Amino acid sequence: MKRLIEGYRQFRRTGWPRERALYAELAKGQAPEYLIISCCDSRADPALIFSARPGELFVLRNVANIVPPFEQGGGYHGTSSAIAFAILQLKVSTVVVMGHAKCGGIAAALDREVVAPMPFLSEWISLLEPAVARCAQDGGDRHTEVEREGVRLSLERLMSFPFIAERVSQGVLRLEGARFGIADGQLEWLDKETGLFKPVH
């Protein structure tokens, strides 16, 4: 708790005065251009990675940056409801699904015993099974490949949301993929033409 309070005090001394006018404007409402769907891993913070100011990013974080398939009906749809809010209410123009290196959710998808004793996680991680199956070949860094394939899978599932597919076809919404390297700080961006992730220089 002490660390959080000290962090807040530092923000009030430096961050708040610097952005006070912006916060006053944001108090009237938000209009972010980007929805970032990323992992909740503490090492991969989209606001830090993209040097974002307050109000620029609408960030949705969950284990392994997973987008579930579009479905309606019973149950709780936390991820899908945040996506709907960003697209339909905030009208973001770009959605970025950002994976990252050394993702624990991907490790769990490759070895389900990792999450066996934890409530909720096993079923959530099962959503990555198609990505794991696509990377079934031996050799290479399978963990990294599944990280990238998980991003591709989430982008495919975004297109299963009718209101997203409609806006993409109209040219008013873009879907992008990325992957962040924890150890080297390197960001890879998904090339839509080749389907490959390429370093951002």
Question: Does residue 83 sit in the same domain as residue 121?
Answer: yes
Tokens standing for residue 105: 């959710």
- Total of domains in the chain: 2
Question: Does residue 62 sit in the same domain as residue 90?
Answer: yes
pLDDT digits (tens, 9 = 90+) for 5-31: 999 999 999 999 999 999 999 999 999
Question: Does residue 144 sit in the same domain as residue 165?
Answer: yes
Question: Does residue 120 sit in the same domain as residue 149?
Answer: yes
Question: Does residue 107 sit in the same domain as residue 22?
Answer: no
Q: How far apart are CA 74 and CA 183, in angstroms?
A: 41
Cα angle at 102 between 67 and 45, to 5 degrees?
65
The per-residue pLDDT of the chain, averaged, comes to 96
Question: Does residue 1 sit in the same domain as residue 79?
Answer: no
pLDDT of residue 139: 59
Question: Does residue 14 sit in the same domain as residue 83?
Answer: no
Tens-binned pLDDT, residue by residue, of the chain (201 aa): 999 999 999 999 999 999 999 999 999 999 999 999 999 999 999 999 999 999 999 999 999 999 999 998 888 899 999 999 999 999 999 999 999 999 999 999 999 888 888 899 999 999 999 999 999 765 569 999 999 999 999 999 999 999 999 999 999 999 999 999 999 999 999 999 999 999 999
Which residue range forms the structural domain that includes residue 175? 31-199
pTM (2 decimals)? 0.95
Question: Does residue 15 sit in the same domain as residue 58?
Answer: no
Question: Does residue 5 sit in the same domain as residue 46?
Answer: no
Cα angle at 128 between 74 and 171, to 5 degrees?
80
